[in-house]
Amino acid sequence: MEKISVSVILGALLLLLVHLYNLLILKPKVLRGKLQRQGIRGPSPSSFLFGNIPEMKRSHLRVRSTVPTTAAEDSLVAIAHDWPSTVFPHLVQWRNEYGPIFLYSTGSIQLLCITDTEMVKEISLCTSLSLGKPSYLSKDRGPLLGRGILSSSGPIWAHQRKTIAPELYIDKVKGMVNLMLDSTSSMLRTWESRVENEGGVVDIKIDEDLRSLSADILSRACFGSDYAQGEQIFLKLESLQKIMSNSNVGIPGFRFLPSKHNRAIWKVEKEINSMILKVVKQRIEASSDEKDLLQMILEGAKSHINDTDGLSIKFSPDKFMVDNCKNIYFAGQETTSITTSWCLMLLAAHPDWQARARAEVLQICEDRVPDANMLRNMKTLTMVIHETLRLFPPAAFLVRAASEDITFKDIMIPKGINLQIPIAMLHRQYDMWGPDAHKFNPERFARGIAGACKTPQAYMPFGVGSRVCVGQHFAMTELKVILSLILSKFCFSLSPAYHHSPTMRLVILPEHGVIIHLRKL
C-alpha cells in the first residue's frame, strides 16, 4: 500500500515537472522560434521564470533616477518631451535596437511588440474572433477585470457587447446630458465657494474632485443611483488598482501564493464583489422598470451564450453581473476623470487654446447650459480632447492574443503569442504625425481624425476595430460637458505647485496630481 502511495506521488510529481517544463521552457521556446525564423528579434529572456522583467525593472529604475521631476514654470518644455521614454524606457530601447516589431517576454507570456503602422492597420481591421484579449487579463488582472467585457474573448465577449453596447449608443447618451450637467454644476458650485472664500483666486488639486464627479455621473446615468450609494465601490476599486499596479503579470503561480500583497488583493476583491451584489440585489428587490445599463446587465446575466459550434456556454449570473459592473465602474470612471485632468492641465499650460475653447463655448451656449446639439458643434473643444487623448491615452497598450495561427504583413503569428501595441509611442511617431509629434497642437485635428495623421488607424485612445470602446460616445460627451462648464465659469493656469510626472498605474495618470490656479470669470 505504501509502495503504491509513493508511486502515485512520484507519478504526480513527474507530471507536474513535465507540465512546468512545457509551460516555462518548451512552449515559450517554440513560440519564439517560430517568430525568430521569420526574422523577428528581441532580447533573450534572462530567466525562464521572469522572462525580461528583471531588465525592464533595471531600465526603469535607471531612467527614473536620472530624470528630475519638472516644475510648472518649465511645464511647456516638459509636456512636449517624450514621456514614454521615461515610463517605458525598455520598449524605446528595444525598438531602437531590434526595429519596429520585436519580441520579449514577461514571465511565461510571449509578447510581440508592434510599432509598425502598416501592421497596426491590418490588426485594427481584423474582425476575427480568433484575435481576442490575452488570458492574463482575466487571470493576473482577474480581481479587477474578471471575465467582463474588457478582458473576455470569443462568444462570451460577443454576448457581453451585445448586452452592453446598445445602452451606450449616441442616442441613449444624448438623454444623459442633463444628468451630466447636474452633477458637474454641483461640483462647480463648491469650486465657486472656495474661490470666493479665498479672495478670488485658489489653487485646487482637481484629481479627486474629478474622480468623484465622474463616479457620480456614471452612477446616475448607468446604474440609477447617485455617487453616495456607489462611493465605497469606487474607493475600493481605486485601492485595488493601486495594489495591482505593482503586480507582475505572467509569472506562473504567483497570483495563488498567500503573500501579503496577494492577501490584500483578495480582501479588497471580496469586498468589491459583495458591494456590487448588494447593489444588484437592491435593484432586483425594487422591481424597477428602469431600462438603464444595470438592468441590461441583469437581463444579460440570465441568458445563455452560444459559441461558434452551437454549444451552450453557461456564464454564472453572479459572475456576469459582478465582472461587468466592475469593468464599467473602472473604465467609465477612472479613464474619463484622468483624461479630464490631463485636458485641464494642457489648457492651463496653453492659455491661447484655453481662450479659443472658451470663446467657442460662450459663442455657442450664450447664457444657456449646453445641450447635445451644442456639444456636437464645439469643434475646438473636440480638437483639444482628441489631442489630449493622443498625448495622454488612458490605456498604455492595445493587447490581443492569437487563439489560432494568423498572418499580418506576411508575418505568421503563431497561436499563443500576445500582440502588444504601445499606444503612446504610436501616437508620437514623426512619420505619422509630423515634426511636432511631441507637442500639444490640437490644430492637427481640424479636419477630424482622418486628416490628423497619415494612417487614421494609428490613433487609438478608444481601441480599434470591432473591439473599440463601447463607452466612447459616453466618454466624449461627458468630457465636453465638464470642460465646457468649467471654461464658461473659470479661467485657470498651472499652479507653481504642479509637477509634471506621468506614470503608469494600469492607466497613464499624473503621479502627483494636477494643481491649477483657478479664478472665476
**DSSP string spanning 349-412?**
H-HHHHHHHHHHHHHHHTTS---HHHHHT-HHHHHHHHHHHHHS-SSSEEEEEESS-EEETTEE
Helix 177-197 vs helix 472-489: crossing angle, to nearest 10: 30
* pTM of structure: 0.91
pLDDT at 44: 92
For the ranges 140-154, 187-201, 379-393, 409-423, which has the lowest average pLDDT? Answer: 140-154
**Is 90 exceeded by the pLDDT of residue 179?**
yes
Tell me the per-residue pLDDT of 66-118, one tens digit each, with 9 for 90 and over: 766 555 455 444 565 689 999 999 999 999 999 999 999 998 899 999 999 99
Is it the case that residue 309 has pLDDT exceeding 70? no
Choose between 482 and 456: higher pLDDT. Answer: 482
Q: Are 117 and 458 in contact (CB under 8 A)?
A: yes
Banded pLDDT at 251 (limits 50, 70, 90): confident
pLDDT above 90: percentage of residues in the chain: 56
Pick 443 or 225 by higher pLDDT.
Answer: 443
Based on its alpha-carbon atoms, the radius of gyration of the chain, rounded to whole angstroms, reads 24
Of 132-136, 232-236, 339-343, the range with the lowest mean pLDDT is 232-236
Average pLDDT over residues 448-462: 91
| Amino acid at the residue 400 | R
Which residues fall within 8 angstroms of residue 95, CB to CB, at 6 or more apart? 102, 113, 115, 425
Average pLDDT over residues 487-493: 96
Ramachandran sector of residue 453 (left: φ over 0; alpha: ψ -120 to 50; beta: rest) = beta
- Kindly report the number of other CB atoms within 10 A of residue 68's CB atom: 9
Query: Residue 301: what pLDDT?
Result: 84
Average pLDDT over residues 42-65: 88
The C-alpha cell at 365 is 451656449
Residue 427: CB atoms within 10 A of its CB come to 23
Residue 114 phi/psi, 5-degree rounding, is -125, 120
Residue-level pLDDT at 79: 63
pLDDT in tens, 140-170: 888 889 899 999 888 888 889 999 999 999 9
Q: Using alpha carbons, select from 101, 59, 131, 77 the residue that is nearest to residue 425.
A: 101
pLDDT-derived band at 445, boundaries 50, 70, 90: very high
Domains of the chain: residue spans and CATH: 23-520 (1.10.630.10)
Pairing mode of beta strands 109-114, 101-106: antiparallel
Residues 375, 430: contact at Cβ < 8 Å? no
pLDDT band for position 424 (cuts 50, 70, 90)? very high
pLDDT of residue 28: 87
What's the chain's average pLDDT?
Answer: 88
Average pLDDT score over residue span 494-509: 90
Identify which of 296, 298, 268 has the alpha carbon closest to the alpha carbon of residue 280: 298
283: confidence class by pLDDT, cuts 50, 70, 90: confident
For the record, the C-alpha cell of 98 comes out as 531590434
Q: What angle do CA 254, 29, 104 make, to 5 degrees?
A: 70
